[in-house]
Structures are given as C-alpha cells and as structure tokens.
C-alpha cells in the first residue's frame, strides 16, 4: 500500500489508529473497555518554521482598528501555547485541537468571517455563550481554546450516545464545524444525501453543506474538476471523508 505522506504513515495505519476511537484522545474513562485505552502514537511531524510563530509576522497589522485593541497583547505569542496549556488541563490530545484551529482560522485569533464566526476556533456567538465566551472573549486564544476543549468533549460524548462509539479525530473536527447534531446525523446515516441532512429546516438558503464545501479536496478526490464546477450532491460518507482528508493532512504533518 502506498504511503500518503502523513508523517510517513500509511493510510491503513492512520485508520487503525483513528478507529481506536478518541477515548484516549479525550482522556475519558470508559469502564466498558476490557483493557486500558492506549495512548496516541507519537507520529513524526513536519513543522513549517516560517509559520511556527504566526504572531511574529506583520499580518496582524492588517486587522481593523476596532479589533486591534482586542488582539494586540496576543500578537507575539505562539498559538501553540494556549492550545497546549488547555490540552494539558483537560488531558486532551493537543494535536487534535491544533489541527482544528488551523483548519478554522489558520492559527489567527483575531479574524472574523462574514457570517460572524470569531477567533482561533471560529465560534458563533451563540455557541461561544454556551461555553462562557462573550463575543470579545472569542478573540482571546486562551479563553477560546478552553471553550473549544470543552466543546470537543461534549461533541464526543454526544456522538458516542448517537452512534455507539467515540468519534475519530477527523469526526471531532466535523462536529466542531457542523455542530454535534449535524455531525451525528452524517455519521449515523452515511448513505444519505449530505446536502439534505445539513439543510436547515425552514431556511432553504442556509445550508451547512454548501457553506462548508472544501472544493480543493473535492477536486483532489475527483468529485469536481475545477473550483468553478457546481457542487455535487455527495453522500454523508463522502462529505465526511473530504474533511477527514483535509484534517489528517494537518494532524499528521503539522500545519503551522
């Protein structure tokens, strides 16, 4: 079997590691398992030293004046620091949180997208409030990382209740992106239309499938030929596998 470039690991090795579930990733005791939960495999990582400390470059200067006061004190801090501190606090796998942060914001705690999602982990105001974040707190990488860790634990527990197992690391990202309810539906009904599963009832123009469609990965996997092609109607399994591929690229090789 060919290697896929994820730290020299083969696709089969990656799936075997992820199929252990994330009980060990989350540090959650599971009295139903007959043996102790294994710790994560120490996979070699390739760090892009040019992006290792993103707060040392000049990109922070491009933010608007109102946002400047909120993030100024964080610009010289490596994004790893708050994530790793939180991972240690909750006994989590920091690589999972790091990969989620990079997919969401490229490690930039000051950004806000045009839909109002904010900060390192791109929290919506409503979701952030559930974890004690004010809209301004979402730009604080320490507070946002703490909220993201607790959100990840809740997502894992919810998905386990729905499908009978802990989610894999890419599935944890899917839950962060789509919400635990939508992620659970995608995993429970893998052969159904992802577009229909993610359609918001009563809001035909609000669709988590369309707004979160990774065209670069879809091209790579042969679902479309160019980014100008219309978005195809994929199954829930195919949609989840695209995000698995994108997440694994960061999780196993580093993305900073």
What pLDDT digit, counting tens, does each position of 179-214 carry? Answer: 999 999 999 999 999 988 988 766 555 566 777 788
Report the percent of the chain where pLDDT is more than 70.
64
Distance of CA 170 to the CA centre of its chain: 7
Q: What is the pLDDT at residue 253?
A: 58
With 60 as the cut, is the pLDDT of residue 30 above it? no
Cβ within 8 Å of residue 42, ≥6 positions away: none
Q: What is the pLDDT at residue 73?
A: 40
Which of 52, 49, 69 shows the shortest CA–CA distance to 60?
Answer: 69
Mean pLDDT of 95-121: 89
All domains of the chain, ordered by start, with CATH?
23-251 (1.10.530.10)
Q: What is the pLDDT at residue 93?
A: 86
CB 118 within 8 A of CB 55: no
Q: What is the pLDDT at residue 133?
A: 95
Distance of CA 231 to the CA centre of its chain: 22
Query: Could you give the CA distance from residue 79 to residue 141 in angstroms, rounded to a whole number?
Result: 7
Report the percent of the chain where pLDDT is more than 90.
40
The torsion region of residue 7 among left (phi > 0), alpha (psi -120 to 50) and beta comes to left
Report the predicted TM-score, pTM, of the whole model to 2 decimal places: 0.70
Query: Could you give the CA distance from residue 217 to residue 219 in angstroms, rounded to a whole number?
Result: 5
Phi, psi (degrees; rounded to nearest 5) at 26: -90, -15
Mean pLDDT of 231-246: 92
Mean pLDDT of 229-252: 89
Name which of 3-7, 18-22, 48-52, 61-65 the model is least confident about.
48-52
For the stretch 198-228, what's the b/e string if a residue is b when 16 or more beta carbons lie within 10 angstroms of its beta carbon?
bbeeeeeeebbbeeebeeebbeeeebbeeee
Q: Is 247 helix (H, G, I), strand (E, B) or coil?
A: helix
Query: Could you give the CA distance from residue 23 to residue 200 in angstroms, rounded to a whole number?
Result: 31
Positions of E strands within the chain: 3-6, 9-10
Q: What is the pLDDT at residue 55?
A: 33
Q: What is the pLDDT at residue 115?
A: 83
């Amino acid at each position: 079997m060919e290697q896929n470039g994820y730290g020299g690991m083969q696709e089969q090795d990656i799936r075997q590691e992820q199929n252990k579930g994330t009980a060990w990733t989350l540090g959650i005791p599971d009295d139903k398992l007959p043996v102790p939960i294994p710790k994560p495999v120490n996979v070699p990582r390739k760090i892009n030293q040019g992006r290792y400390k993103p707060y040392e470059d000049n990109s922070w200067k491009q933010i608007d004046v109102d946002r400047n006061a909120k993030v100024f004190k964080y610009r010289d801090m490596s994004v790893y620091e708050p994530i790793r501190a939180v991972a240690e606090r909750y006994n989590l796998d920091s690589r999972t949180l790091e990969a989620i942060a990079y997919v969401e914001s490229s490690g930039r705690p000051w950004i806000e997208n045009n839909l109002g999602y904010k900060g390192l982990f791109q929290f919506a105001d409503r979701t952030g409030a559930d974890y004690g974040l004010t809209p301004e707190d979402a730009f604080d990488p320490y507070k946002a990382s703490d909220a993201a860790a607790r959100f990840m634990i809740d997502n894992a527990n919810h998905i386990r209740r729905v499908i009978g197992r802990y989610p894999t690391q890419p599935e944890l990202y899917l839950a962060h992106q789509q919400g635990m309810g939508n992620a659970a539906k995608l995993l429970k009904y893998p052969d159904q239309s992802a577009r229909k599963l993610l359609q918001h009832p009563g809001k035909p123009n609000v669709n988590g499938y369309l707004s979160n469609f990774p065209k670069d990965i879809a091209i790579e996997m042969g679902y479309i030929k160019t980014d100008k092609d219309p978005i195809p109607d994929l199954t829930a399994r195919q949609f989840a596998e695209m995000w698995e591929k994108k997440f694994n690229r960061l999780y196993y090789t580093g993305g900073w």
